[in-house]
Amino acid sequence: MTGKYAPPAVTIRSYPDSPIRDVVVVVRDQEMIPRCRDYRQAMQWARLERKTYKIFEPDTGFPANEEAGDLPLFCVPIEVDHLPARDECPDFISS
């Protein structure tokens, strides 16, 4: 055994049509996979594991002081106004 291991890594695995996420932690060629109920909990767990094993934050390629207007649209937070249901809207005219 040479004693050389791959660098530690933390990733989040998601499943189609499910809010459940797995946080995959690989340290010294050993995997630990805690299951989380949603993305927020998975992010909190991943941050905790990165701090524990001193894994640096992934580089997004964007400077920290970059304005939201300079970012690509997929990185900009979007506010969504939810419309009332059709039967709750007084101006709705069925055709």
Q: Residue 67: what pLDDT?
A: 53
How many separate domains does the chain show? 1
Over pLDDT 90: what percentage of the chain?
A: 24
Q: Residue 55: what pLDDT?
A: 84
Residue 69: inside a domain, yes or no? yes
Residue 93: inside a domain, yes or no? no
Residue 17: inside a domain, yes or no? yes
What is the tens place of the pLDDT at every residue in 73-90?
566 565 666 655 656 555
What is the tens place of the pLDDT at every residue in 4-28?
888 888 988 988 888 899 999 998 8
Q: Residue 35: what pLDDT?
A: 94
Domain that holds residue 41: 9-80
3-state SS assignment for residue 65: coil
Q: How far is residue 81 from each of residues 34, 53, 78, 84, 95, measured CA to CA in Å?
A: 34, 41, 10, 10, 25
Residue 24 and residue 5: Cα distance in Å, rounded?
17
Those residues with Cβ within 8 angstroms of residue 42's Cβ, 6 or more apart along the chain or in another chain: 12, 21, 22, 23, 36
